[in-house]
Amino acid sequence: MTTAHEPDEFDQIAQSGGPVGVHRAPRPWWSVAIVPLVVFVVAGLVAFVVAQLFWNTGVTPSSTVSESPAAEVTTEATSEATTEPSETVSEEPSETPSEEPSETAEPEPVIDYDASIAVLNGSGITGLAGSQATLLEEAGFATPTADNLSGAIPTANRVVYADEAMADTAAEVASTLGIDTVELGEPTTDVDVEVQLVSSP
């Protein structure tokens, strides 16, 4: 019993007078395995050659990737560290030294408690000059005298001093008696400081 099949190349050979019953021989096992084996061997050789090349030159893939970022980071960090602090250190200390020397202490007033002082009464109030002279004695002034004011009468109580050196002493006399006006001028009597009263201070 025969089974019908499509004619192949061997049937064509038989029809042309060739041998009948010829079939394709089975392929040996090594012919199937040789192709992947050759590919594996070639790939291994390529990998070995590449590894030897990197080993001989001393360059590895990791070193080529990591060197350039490290250099950039270190250079940027050093440049920032060297430039920024120099600005703040040089600018800030220059402000305070220029301000402090400008604050000069005011000189202490020079008060002469032995200066000659006359208290003159032009108010018409009896005993006013004497009571004010007593206040000056209690404040430490040595020789205040009391008398009546003659000549021109001022419009308000005042203290007059003849010399600029008596300015602080005259100001202290006026402060002790509660008088606001202190003037550099010519006293009516021969004293350093003269108090002219037109009313009770």
Averaged pLDDT for residues 82-93? 51
For helices 167-177 and 128-138, angle between their N-to-C axes, nearest 10 degrees: 110
pTM to 2 decimal places: 0.49
Q: Is the pLDDT of residue 77 over 50?
A: no
Q: Is the pLDDT of residue 18 over 60?
A: no
pLDDT tens-digit series, residues 92-145: 555 555 555 556 788 889 999 999 999 999 999 999 999 999 999 999 998 899
What's the mean per-residue pLDDT of the chain?
Answer: 77
Q: How confident is the model at residue 167 (pLDDT cuts 50, 70, 90)?
A: very high
CA–CA distance, 50 with 47 (Å, rounded to integer): 5
Q: How confident is the model at residue 3 (pLDDT cuts 50, 70, 90)?
A: low
Tokens of 13: 């050979």
Burial 140-150 (b: 16+ CB within 10 A, else e): ebeebebeebe
Please give the pLDDT value at position 65. 46
Which amino acid, 187? P
Is 173 within 8 Å of 158 (Cβ atoms)? no
Q: How confident is the model at residue 179 (pLDDT cuts 50, 70, 90)?
A: very high
pLDDT tens-digit series, residues 33-53: 777 888 888 888 888 888 888
Which amino acid, 182? V
Of 79, 92, 145, 78, the closest CA to residue 116 belongs to 145
Pick 176 or 95 by higher pLDDT. Answer: 176
Pick 25 or 50 by higher pLDDT. Answer: 50
